[in-house]
Structure 1
């Protein structure tokens, strides 16, 4: 876009997730979700007042509205905790984006009328006009349905660009991915292939003073793709069976050189904010030299190996009722298949 900003500030807003696992009534669940949204409105207003009006992008943690299923069946979780694509929750979040003139990103469990009986974990971006400009459905999940599980039909509905969406905006080309997907370099790479400049990473993960696999991956994804990574973690999960501080802290912003620009400790915090130098990123991407890793990619080297390899199978949820054992059973079958091929050895 010709009217892109040269720079602005982004915030990985670390907030507590109020889970709905112990709530069995729809009205109670909706009340918890609405309270979360009301609290976010206040926290965002206060954060912008502290950071400044050039804070144009705020990223929220993974499943910040509901927490994640803890034993609930797919059908029960879909009815209890998932939101509609045009539901009241998105409308309320859109009003926050409009009110504060920000791009607001987050992650939620979402229903899709094209896939009755299932739900998807969806990363979304709302622009300052209140429009949802991007929906990315998590592609790698251990215990939730993904587009890959209904691959053929999903492609028919949304096409490959709908699988790897990139939103071209005044604050750069935005893309999103969820939680452990930062460990899968292909996801970030496919988004970068489509022009992504800033990866918005909603997560809920263990925080440690030691380098974790996900933190190492965040730096790697930033460097190898020459992108910013804005990673927002939860400040713990309450009203859930797991100890509340198990996933608490370490929200951060990493620049396209792999430098951590801002990071916060545990607890609710707006300390993980930093300047996004969009002009600098574009300049370095345009500059020939050893460090321009993006322009030196030779994808043809790898294409045939990917084409010939078949690991976790697609389309396993197109037919029939799905229970949670499906995920581990499919993974076990994949491991046995790879063992027969000699890729995995006992």
Structure 2
């Protein structure tokens, strides 16, 4: 198996939790190291790798793939440098801060003949995979409406200054919003128009921390919501069709397990507890079905395996740059809609 030499642009939470464990576990990757500005931490977990003092040193090294896992407002600048250096890239969400930046990166990757993937790992959450199967199986009949939530209860400001300082990449719309938007687009494609309400609800907050986005499709609507004042959560996925409904709480265990230092595997990884199963209430072959539905297994490994296949076999990325462009189109439309208090046609 061809080894893809991979480096990170930071080794904070995302590098330590979401990327390094899968890169080091997948037989097709070799973790080379990370750019570390102040704290030198990666060698504590991976003693044989390098800690780069500068991004230039990293790009000059024998590296095939670079993961851009830095604050959102830096994604465009850093990803562009990676692509210009002839390296493949994975860029975290939000892909960029504008549609124009996303389109430029997509075009540059194509021009340079390198792969560019967006890290929308939530496509491989156990709960979303289950929702995806319910919809693909058409057991609800014609979809009338869907509502996805990414709710939390956390009134305190983040200690990470880049998350709370007013900048082009800060705020819940570009933090949790891309997860919800990408999942909606993955299931239903681009909508015809967008309406959004974007607010600040936490005391002393300088960035948006509440979103309510309505996507208009010809025959149905999809609502996407996220906020920090939901102490008693409702189901994170609610899909209603002309034959029935499916309600699913958020239950994917991967992030929590990774934060605890657990290592991914291909057997038991990403299995939700039975208590998080969704409820399917519908009509199947003229019989009413109302019961819990087993949750599919999630595994972020599949994203990285898709990247390996994309590079090794010259096929499409598991989440393409164009997917990233589409998410940014929804984000820009949402900002415009909230500011103007009107529906924005795409």
Q: Same fold (TM over 0.5)?
A: no
TM-score by length of 2: 0.27
Q: Which has the higher strand share?
A: 2
Superposition TM-score, scaled by structure 1 size: 0.27
